[in-house]
Structure 1
Amino acid sequence: MDLELRHLRIVRAVADAGSVSKAASLLGLAQPALTSQLKRIERMLGGALFERDRHGARPTRLGELVLARARVLLPAAKELQEEAVRFAHAPSPGYRIGATNGPILGGLVDRLAAERSVSTYTSWSAHELTTMVELGRLDYVLTGACGDSGTPMGTLLWETISLDPVFVLLAVHHPLAVEKEVELADLAGEHWALTPGDGCFNDCFAMACARAGFTPGTIYEIDVATCLHLARVGRAVVLCQATHRPAPGLVVVPLKNAPLRWRQLLGRHPAALDAAWVRVQAKQTHMEAVRRSRVYYDWLTRNAGFGTTP
């Protein structure tokens, strides 16, 4: 006969009650039946567990050993059972995704939600989102980095989804709006607008302008809606991702020779669900965004080495 949890419950009950008769009453058993079970347990364990006299039952040294283990094992077994029941009746675990401003969050959520629940959290700060994944509050983060910068450090596992050029967003009445592509130097006299972030993009932009022979004018670091408004009224040129689809009154124009490049990155917690499948969905979502952007799709036919990574 093997030792079972029910045997440990009997030993604990006798010790807690202080006598076999009281333990039998608490367990709803007849005293002779409990006495018989206790004797079988003692034979199985190799010795007496209690000293019994008219004053009750006191654990022997062997009994103390068994009781010490029983008081650890029985609560642990109960906790395991309760946790298993909660897990069995809980909804399927979902995907928790953080994202900075980017082109694929909506499409990725649409794809993943067909399989599991999805929750999202957005922020201008890639550092904030990365920290949340490291702490287990998110499973994945969609963010980006300048094309020449390294992969973010930390405990996350990273995958490059795409390498994209940065284009500009101009008002339809802008003199350069009819061009197929423009030199960055052609925009030397402009004011600029871009969305905020805590990466190196501002520095990369300043260096690209320096290579083109000028220092950029006013740079507005503002939300997307305000960027679009300033571009539409001709107050600023907006730096935008190549997959951007312009609203009425605006056009997307590529920069010649891609002086600014942006990598779309997917970071994940090491324990994140379905990592390979989520990575594939992210890349397919990016490919769909490229196909919807006629300007970028046409540009890719003339410029190798960009777009969704294999």
Structure 2
Amino acid sequence: MRHLRALCAIADTGSLRKAARQLGMSQPSLTTQLRRIENTVGGRLFSREVTGSRPTPLGRSVLNRARPIVAEMNALVSEVRLEVGQAAGEALRIGSTGSRAVVGWLRRLRARFPDADTTIHIDVSANALLEMVAAQQLDAAFVHEVEGTPLRVPEGVRRRVLLAREPQFVALAETHPAADAPVVRLTDLADDQWMVDPAGDGEGPGLRRVLTAAGLNPRVVYGDYLTAADLVASGEVVAPCQPTARSRPGMVVRPLYGDPLTVGLYLASRAPDAGGAAVSADVDALFADLETAYLEIAWASDAYRQWLLRNDSPLVRVRDARTPVPLADIGLAGPSDGA
């Protein structure tokens, strides 16, 4: 079963690196495992191409038999866990792509459901999280979708919009010539090397699309965002980042002029007619706590708070309805270049 899961993960992600991360193992270990499987079946199951790993005709044949087996096993495991959870008390399993809102979300959920065993699963791949929701391995997941590169939403999964359009800012070295500007233009970064995490669904293609539309063709390299932060601070690269990201020594975070890079933010859960959640928790409550947690970190960022206000974001109205605050008290500035 472990081997079948590995094959499905490679096929679904199209990448040994992404599949290894999804499976919680190193890429060399997964590569070794794939070679053993191929030696066992007597042929290559994936072709290694520049764009990733693609199933060979033999691979497609094996996958056609493997997928139903994996699906049945996932369903069996989910049912057993549900029965165990019902016997021992409620379990609340949530997932998220990387977000600073997760800490506040968890804190609120544990306060709301003190008797539930609340766990969090973090994965850079939104598609992987959606598959886990579909398989009832997660009750809900907070995911983002890069504009222009839609996610694969499995049947039986519904999404509720937290924010239809979140701007992506840029992280650059504090010594960068554009670092002193309140808003940075893409042309200010024309000579820079960009870095994105290839395991983030749609992030590489999304960035390429935006750079091409701006008439730019800089070098784009790939790496995880923890490594990127150090490289940004050293001046080696610039990188797109969430608007709630905080500056750190040697690195600043700035809005991009015209908001060329945006993502949609969603809470994904099972549709009621597809089995619903494995817990009695109301999805409305999960969403309300996520919304509050997100607002908390959004308002802590001066640049992002100004963006929300200037763009008349629905989140501003949500916040005002909950905790009305005069605009003068939160430093509303007049329109500026790039607002």
Q: TM-score, normalised by structure 2?
A: 0.61
1:200, distance to aligned residue in structure 2 (A)? 2.0
1:298, distance to aligned residue in structure 2 (A)? 2.1
In the other structure, the counterpart of 2:212 is: 210
CA distance in 2: counterparts of 1:212 and 1:280, whole angstroms? 38
Correspondence for 1:97 among 90, 94, 97 = 94
Offset from partner CA, 1:210-249 (integer Å, 9 cap, x none): 12111121x2322222111000000000110111112222
Secondary structure at 2:310 match in 1: coil
Structure 1 residues 110 and 253: CA distance shift in structure 2, 3 A? same
Equivalent residue letter for 1:165: P
Correspondence for 1:293 among 301, 318, 335 = 301
1:305, distance to aligned residue in structure 2 (A)? 4.3
Correspondence for 1:201 among 196, 200, 203 = 203
Offset from partner CA, 1:185-232 (integer Å, 9 cap, x none): 211111112233352222221111112111121x23222221110000
CA distance in 1: counterparts of 2:99 and 2:299, whole angstroms? 16
Judge conservation of contact 2:133–2:139 (CA < 8 Å) in 1.
yes
CA distance in 2: counterparts of 1:182 and 1:126, whole angstroms? 28
Structure 1 residues 88 and 212: CA distance shift in structure 2, 3 A? closer
In the other structure, the counterpart of 2:117 is: 117
Q: TM-score, normalised by structure 1?
A: 0.66
In the other structure, the counterpart of 1:107 is: 104
CA distance in 2: counterparts of 1:87 and 1:203, whole angstroms? 40
1:288, distance to aligned residue in structure 2 (A)? 0.7
Paired residues, number: 224
Structure 1 residues 304 and 216: CA distance shift in structure 2, 3 A? farther
Judge conservation of contact 1:129–1:141 (CA < 8 Å) in 2.
yes
Instruction: Extract unaligned runs of 5+ from structure 2.
Output: 1-83, 319-339
1:268, distance to aligned residue in structure 2 (A)? 0.8
Equivalent residue letter for 1:293: S
CA distance in 2: counterparts of 1:299 and 1:187, whole angstroms? 21
1:299, distance to aligned residue in structure 2 (A)? 2.7
Judge conservation of contact 1:126–1:197 (CA < 8 Å) in 2.
no
Judge conservation of contact 1:189–1:216 (CA < 8 Å) in 2.
yes
In the other structure, the counterpart of 1:18 is: none
Offset from partner CA, 1:250-305 (integer Å, 9 cap, x none): 11110011001011111012322310110111111111111111121123333344
Judge conservation of contact 1:156–1:269 (CA < 8 Å) in 2.
yes
Structure 1 residues 171 and 287: CA distance shift in structure 2, 3 A? same
CA distance in 2: counterparts of 1:145 and 1:244, whole angstroms? 18
Instruction: Extract unaligned runs of 5+ from structure 1.
Output: 1-85
Alignment of 1:129-278 (within 5 A): 129-150=129-150, 152-154=152-154, 155-162=156-163, 163-217=165-219, 219-270=220-271, 271-272=276-277, 273-278=281-286
Structure 1 residues 173 and 87: CA distance shift in structure 2, 3 A? closer
Structure 1 residues 127 and 180: CA distance shift in structure 2, 3 A? same
1:309, distance to aligned residue in structure 2 (A)? 8.8
Q: What is the RMSD of the two structures over their aligned residues, measured on CA atoms?
A: 2.4
Task: Show structure 1 runs of 4+ deviating over 6 A.
Answer: 86-89
Secondary structure at 1:258 match in 2: coil
CA distance in 1: counterparts of 2:316 and 2:198, whole angstroms? 24
Judge conservation of contact 1:206–1:216 (CA < 8 Å) in 2.
no
1:184, distance to aligned residue in structure 2 (A)? 1.0
Equivalent residue letter for 1:108: W
Judge conservation of contact 1:160–1:309 (CA < 8 Å) in 2.
no
Q: Percent identity?
A: 27
